[in-house]
């Protein structure tokens, strides 16, 4: 019982984030539609940020009192000394803001590439694109529905 509480219940934020990471990673690998793969990639990046930012929360005591103390956001104000508030850690939020911006830029460029693929091949399913590419190589000519 002691082992269960110490290794599973105290670190429940890591288990939840890991579950979302594994689910979205299988969505990227298994699905065949290109847009569904992009959705899985975006959810994967968001779960990574959740994992890292949850390291910085301070003051939550699970075993004795059920989550009654939490940390306030780290903006310094004068009443915090009288009421006994504890500030949360600002460092993980600073490092992850850069990552959020990178994720947004990557999703935009990936969507533009999917639009160009649709204009050239006429479909977004992965196996039909592979069939058209092999036909193109075998016949050595141009694609029938070419509209670049």
Sign of the alpha-carbon torsion through 116, 122, 125, 127: negative
Shortest Cβ distance from residue 77 to another protein (Å)?
7
- Work out whether 76 is an interface residue with another protein (CB under 8 A): yes
Stretch that binds another protein, among 27-35, 41-49, 132-140 (CB under 8 A): 27-35
Task: Quickly tell me which residue has 């196996």 as its tokens.
Answer: 127
| CA 95 remoteness from chain centre | 15
- Work out whether 60 is an interface residue with another protein (CB under 8 A): yes
Tell me which of 77, 79, 138, 141 binds another protein, using CB under 8 A: 77
Tell me which of 38, 42, 89, 124 binds another protein, using CB under 8 A: 89
- Work out whether 146 is an interface residue with another protein (CB under 8 A): yes
Task: Kindly list the distances between the CA atom of residue 140 and the CA atoms of 102, 121, 130, 144, in Å, as whole numbers in the listed order.
Answer: 40, 16, 15, 12
């Amino acid at each position: 019982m002691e082992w269960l509480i110490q290794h599973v219940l105290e670190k429940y934020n890591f288990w939840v984030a890991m579950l979302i990471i594994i689910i979205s990673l299988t969505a990227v690998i298994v699905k065949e539609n290109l847009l569904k793969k992009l959705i899985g990639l975006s959810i994967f990046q968001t779960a990574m940020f959740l994992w890292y930012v949850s390291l910085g929360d301070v003051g939550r005591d699970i075993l004795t009192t059920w989550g009654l103390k939490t940390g306030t956001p780290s903006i310094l104000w004068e009443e915090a000394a009288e009421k006994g508030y504890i500030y949360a850690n600002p460092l993980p939020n600073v490092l992850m803001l850069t990552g959020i911006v990178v994720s947004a830029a990557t999703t935009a460029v990936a969507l533009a590439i999917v639009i160009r693929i649709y204009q050239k091949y006429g479909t977004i399913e992965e196996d039909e694109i592979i069939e058209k590419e092999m036909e193109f190589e075998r016949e050595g000519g141009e694609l029938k529905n070419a509209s670049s």
